[in-house]
Amino acid sequence: MDCIFCKIIKGEIPSKTLYEDDLVKVIMDVNPVSDGHVLVIPKKHYTDYLELDEDILKHIYAIAKDLGVKFMNKLQAKSLTLLVNYGDAQQVKHFHLHLIPEFNLHDNKTLKSLDEVYDILSK
């Protein structure tokens, strides 16, 4: 299989991993739209949300609920967007949930480096 997320899960491609258990891996998005943009990726390959069973879906959202609040606090974010793409909008055909912290909408601040954000979130 030529799935980039499967390769990341297997350790064939490096990632900035913030959390991992038997079912999921949480990594920094390499093309973030905001500081702290992370992906919750199930370790088993599911093409999209229609293939997920209820147990893995509950687990993914439990992780998102726990980590999302922690990451918002560490980054002093004002809100958090949870996003799942489907169909043509889904660039990688392996289900993943985006956690996207949002800050002051009127602030045109530039993004921090991935390393800088990873250092903040991994502590």
- In DSSP terms, which residues pair with 99 in a beta bridge? 38, 82
Question: What are the domain boundaries of the chain?
Answer: 4-121
Query: In this structure, what DSSP letter does residue 17 have?
Result: E
Clarify whether 59 is annotated catalytic. Answer: no
Closest CA to 85 of 32, 50, 48, 52: 48
How much is the average pLDDT of 2-22? 96
Q: What is the pLDDT of residues 40-96, one digit of tens each?
A: 999 999 999 999 999 999 999 999 999 999 999 999 999 999 999 998 888 999 999
Task: Report DSSP letters for 20-55, one per residue.
Answer: E-SSEEEEE-SS-SSTT-EEEEESS--SSGGG--HH
Residue 4 makes CB contacts below 8 A (sequence gap 6+) with: 13, 92, 94
Alpha-carbon Rg for the chain, nearest whole angstrom, is 14
Q: What is the pLDDT of residue 19?
A: 97
The single residue of 37, 45, 94, 96 carrying the catalytic annotation is: 96
Token pair 């350790």 is found at 11
State the pTM of this model.
Answer: 0.91
Residue 109: predicted pLDDT:
66
- Whether domain 4-121 has CATH 3.30.428.10: the reply is yes
